[in-house]
Chains A and B, each alone.
Chain A
């Protein structure tokens, strides 16, 4: 019995140790980014374009670029993602197409992001002739976000009790009216949470925009969908690998990383807060 007790203590200590190790790693990581990024941050850093071959100035074009890419990607992805989820949950015939669609979504969710980048380059940049541009990049990001968006929306819609649809249909509503007036409003908080999480993912992606949208350096903001853009994640990579003055560029890279980190964590935290708030408030 003592041996078993000893074993028990040993394993529990091991697990605790693992969590402490994990936490330690992640704390070092976060602290490093914050402590080296924070001194660079200032209002000027946010609102000024880069200067002097990227060794001075701010990140304004990259910030706006990321904002534009993400917003456009969501504008493209949201309608088709939501309608696909609606089709899966409310129409879904024939059954074999539903199965195929689920396989398609799971497969797409597992494809590495660099492949989306290659695809975007082959189809949007080259075949369709959109060039390396805001348009090509946001379309590529939209397709990347699609599977996660569909999955989240489908789950959100399925979590609405069938009682509600039944009551609506029995009052003479069509499926469309039932979805738009009863199911969708009830599922909206969860759909939003999923969409916000997708925004966080899309904003942080680098590989898909490397060959489809991003440019190393641009002093001005894009004027049309056909223009190249700077973007925060690509800016970090470019500063670290393509620069000629590392001593001046590495701090800027840390500052940019901290901005990106704060942005993404704020977005995700919003989603988590909405979710837990709605769980408490939900009445069914």
Chain B
């Protein structure tokens, strides 16, 4: 009796584990199955490297280059804004702030990391975009710069919280050793603490990258949605995610446009796979210890 119950329990656990693997396989299958159909009609080179996304024209053309560039530039911009702010804040909280201040600030940062992205999107669309249009006297505030700014603000809590954890877990003795050798506080931070926390910091940046490039709602609401390669930071763009979200409603299952949007998802999946892979490689030696 004991044995039968034990067997059943073990089997349930095993099936749950298998189900998890099946979920990922189903995601990959679902996306690739519908996306790869596009390449029966359009060559993958044209898809990736030409710049003419006119899915509803006759005949339609599916050149996603501008969309890929859109995603990359928005993400790059977001990281340029977020990195100094989030890492600076993380250093401040971990190394400079009093323990009391840290106790207060750390949970707030963690809370901020949980704010839904659509709320950031609303803030960008209804408040920041009109402001930026005014300040820089532009035709529209819905552009690359505004998107990057919002995305940047959005990933700050994520990068800050994880890199702060990394610095906080550096043993105290390392700081003492550096200070005892006559180093100043900032020298200790840059030459002793940060090198020791390097892996966690890189991991947090990669996570921020993944979050920014995969974010849909903010860019859907703020990026302006023009499928062009931006000539300045104040021009509208159309990243991969917002293209999928904006156009999926207009397609019919099985038509070429539908397949093309799944093909965009393949590009997105591959980019996030690679950023995950780098994270895995960065963290692996640590895990084996």
Contacts and interface: CB of A to CB of B under 8 A. Distances in A.
- Binding partners A and B: yes
Interface of A: 4-5, 7-8, 10-12, 14-19, 21-23, 25-26, 29, 32-33, 79-84, 86-88, 90-91, 97, 100-101, 103-108, 110-119, 121-123, 126-127, 143, 146, 150, 174-176, 179, 197, 200-201, 203-207, 210-211, 233-234, 236-237, 240-241, 250, 253-254, 257, 260-261, 264-265, 268-269, 272
B21 A121 contact: no
Nearest to B184: A8
Contacts of A4: 184, 187
Q: Which 7 A-B pairs have the closest CB atoms?
A: A18-B88, A112-B214, A204-B116, A83-B16, A87-B13, A11-B186, A8-B184
Contacts of B180: none
Given A112-B241, A236-B118, A118 B31 contact: yes
B89 A175 contact: no
A236 B17 CA distance: 36
A219 to B, nearest CB: 21
A79 B9 CA distance: 12
B27 interface: yes
Interface stretch (B46-54, B170-178, B268-276): B268-276
Interface residues of B, number: 86
A207 B85 CA distance: 27
Majority secondary structure, B binding face: helix
Given A80-B20, A123-B30, A176-B5, A112 B96 contact: no
Nearest to A237: B118
Given A11-B186, A18-B85, A110-B272, A174 B114 contact: no
Given A12-B96, A113-B216, A80 B30 contact: no
Interface in B9-25: 9-10, 12-17, 19-21, 23-24
A174 B6 CA distance: 7
Given A5-B184, A22-B89, A103-B280, A32 B153 contact: no
Contacts of A241: 220-221
Contacts of B38: none
Contacts, number: 252
Nearest to B33: A122
Contact of A16 (B96, B157, B189, B273): B96
B111 A272 contact: yes
B118 A119 contact: no
Nearest to A263: B116
B117 interface: yes
Contacts of B23: 108, 143, 146
Q: Which residue, B14, B16, B33, B221, has most C-beta atoms of chain A within 10 A?
A: B16
Given A111-B269, A112-B214, A118-B261, 14 more contacts: A15-B89, A16-B92, A18-B84, A18-B89, A25-B156, A90-B13, A106-B280, A110-B273, A112-B241, A119-B30, A122-B30, A176-B10, A236-B122, A240-B122
A114 B214 contact: yes
Contacts of A5: 184
Contacts of B121: 236-237, 240
Nearest to A246: B126
Contacts of B126: 240, 250, 253-254
Contacts of A272: 107, 110-111
